[in-house]
A and B are shown apart, each in its own frame.
Chain A
Amino acid sequence: MAKVKGDIIIDIEKCKGCELCAASCPQESLELSRKLNSKGYHYIVKIEDNCTGCINCALVCPEGIIKVYRKTEKRMDPVATLTNVTGDLTVTVNS
């Protein structure tokens, strides 16, 4: 199974701290910061490194300030191990 890794960028100056994104995150990786932005709102920060890039947070964000990135890493595991081959052998791998 391919490993999916996601990341988000939050424009914290525009965040109003409504926490709708945190409630919709299936990985529970968002939380309110204890710091304030220049408008006086507690802003949202990502506290866990388990984002899958599902874009749920960006969909419910009323301000539209979340950018979502997703990368699918294909695992390059060996498909077969050949030992003690003596004769002719043809191996094909479907990508």
Chain B
Amino acid sequence: MNEKRMLGEDHYEQVIAEESICTNENLVYEKPETLTDTPMHYCPGCGHGVAHRLIAEAIAELDIQDKTVGVAPVGCSVFMYNYMNIDMTEAAHGRASAVATGIKRVLPDKYVFSYQGDGDLAAIGTGETIHTCNRGENILIVFINNGIYGMTGGQMAPTTLVGMKSTTTPYGRDVAVMGNPLKITELIAQLPGVYYCTRVAVNTPANVRRAKKAIVNGFKYQELKKGLSFVEVVSNCPSNWKMTPLESNKWMEENMFPFYPLGDLKVPGKEK
């Protein structure tokens, strides 16, 4: 047992005697009110929880809780509407961006976002995604990329890296048989309807701050009505990568980041 916990009675009394600083005036950070108290069903260390919280924080920061409509995908984050204290709906697999388009066209003054995983957005919903981006709908798409089908048990997704093992590629992804991984963010960044396109991660505090800034920007750009905002979040899947959360973050830094480099792909006013 740790020595620091085995100190005598004196230390215990001294700690108790100190005045606690846990009062409301000293509070610097807590979960935003736009996130409900429901315990999340995600595996320990999953990036979905952080991404949910960042969206909730962005909504709370912009004070648009009653003006936001979200679209949940099919995948691990299918129960997202239980965790967000905003209006949300559920779309068929891959069709979240099409549903978001309809909501935005009927209610043009609302802030609409869709939250999709890589199996949802890049495999089943590729057509919907590309056409929504090409039409330049004024919505925000948050794309969680963990390189695998998480909910169904870790099958190969289009974003699975070359050589990466999954339940359907037990010897690693072979380019000759399964083709190359799909960089969907680079693909849609060149479309003229996309106004803002960036790739962030949620593994370290610095990356979490950048990700929050990107999501806040995505909501802000909806007011301008100039096109679609696309935020890719490179995330981990500790359960299906068969790693601990810390190992999976390290693996993600070593393998995912070289292929999916973080940074802005398209920023308004800074076109190449």
Contact = CB atoms under 8 A, between A and B. Distances in A.
Interface of A: 5-7, 9, 14, 16-20, 23-24, 31, 34, 41, 47-49, 53, 55-56, 58-71
Given A24-B205, A64-B49, A69 B27 contact: yes
Contact of B27 (A16, A61, A67): A67
Contacts of A16: 43-45
Contact of A63 (B29, B39, B202, B209): B39
A59 B208 contact: yes
Contact of B44 (A9, A18, A24, A69): A18
A70 B21 CA distance: 7
B22 interface: yes
Nearest to A39: B39
A56 B205 contact: yes
Contacts of B183: none
B245 A20 contact: yes
Contact of A7 (B20, B50, B202): B20
Given A14-B39, A70-B21, 6 more contacts: A7-B21, A9-B22, A41-B44, A58-B30, A62-B50, A69-B26
Interface string B27-56: 111110001000110111111111001000
B4 interface: yes
Nearest to B30: A67
Contacts of B50: 59-62
A28 to B, nearest CB: 12
Interface in B199-214: 202-205, 208-209
Contact of A5 (B21, B27, B44, B47): B21
Contact of B4 (A48, A55, A60): A48
B23 interface: yes
B204 A70 contact: no
B115 to A, nearest CB: 15
B198 interface: no
B249 interface: yes
10 contacts: A19-B245, A31-B2, A34-B1, A47-B2, A47-B5, A58-B29, A60-B50, A67-B27, A67-B29, A71-B21
A92 B69 CA distance: 57
Nearest to B211: A59
Contact of A60 (B15, B40, B208): B208
